[in-house]
Amino acid sequence: MEHIRQATEQDIPYMYEISLRTALSGLDGTDYYHDPFCVGHYYAAPYFFFDPALCFIAVDEYNRPSGYIVGTSDTVAFNSWMNSHWLPPLKIHYTNATAYKSKNEEDMIRLINKGPGEGVWEHVGYPAHLHINLLENLQGKGLGKALMLTFMEGVQKRGVAGIHLGVDGRNTRAFGFYEKMGFTKLKEPAWGAVFGLKF
């Protein structure tokens, strides 16, 4: 039976796989990357190493990890740790990267080399942020909602005021999900939308 649970170290390979297979605005990005790990290096694994208590996994009927929610209750501290600890070895790893399979891969590696900059939303009442991704076979079964409610509970217990997240403009399906979960659109930059929720 499908269900959700706390993430463990052994889930890390699956987190990389899930991030790749949902990398194209929610769709499978496998054919767009020479390096199958570059997406997970930024959007999945670091969250587990920074704060595993806020990482949860959805498993399919065969107990295979097939979805996750990862995030942080303190975006300022997370971004600082990304820039000082997590990204430097990756920047060395990708120093001479030039053979990109797609614009998506080029953008991803550029982001790794640049790192997160000074944000806005964490300073105006939305200190937490998250990423949620489920493989296609697990979507539409209530597991996204279960992951989101569990993450929200974890963040709320820490007394955090709110959560923000960014969505690619091509992923309009996700817009509906976030609105259903109580998020409101804060801004629509050229690349998509920023959603926020205050407790």
Ligand X SMILES: CC(C)(COP(=O)(O)OP(=O)(O)OC[C@H]1O[C@@H](n2cnc3c(N)ncnc32)[C@H](O)[C@@H]1OP(=O)(O)O)[C@@H](O)C(=O)NCCC(=O)NCCS
Contacts with ligand X, residue ranges (CB under 6 A): 22, 26, 132-134, 139-145, 167, 171, 173-174, 176-177, 180
Nearer to ligand X, 83 or 139 (CB): 139
> Which among 177, 174, 181 is positioned nearest to 197, based on CA atoms?
181
Nearer to ligand X, 55 or 143 (CB): 143
> Which among 73, 81, 75 is positioned nearest to 159, based on CA atoms?
73
What is the C-alpha separation between 115 and 91, in angstroms, rounded? 9
The Cα angle at residue 31 between residues 29 and 37, in degrees rounded to 5: 65
**Segments of 104-182 assigned E as strands:** 128-134, 162-168
Q: How far apart are the first and last CA of the chain?
A: 31
Nearer to ligand X, 139 or 156 (CB): 139
**Segments of 88-183 assigned E as strands:** 128-134, 162-168
- Min CB(96)–ligand X separation in Å: 30
- Min CB(196)–ligand X separation in Å: 14
- Min CB(9)–ligand X separation in Å: 22
Nearer to ligand X, 73 or 133 (CB): 133
- Min CB(177)–ligand X separation in Å: 4
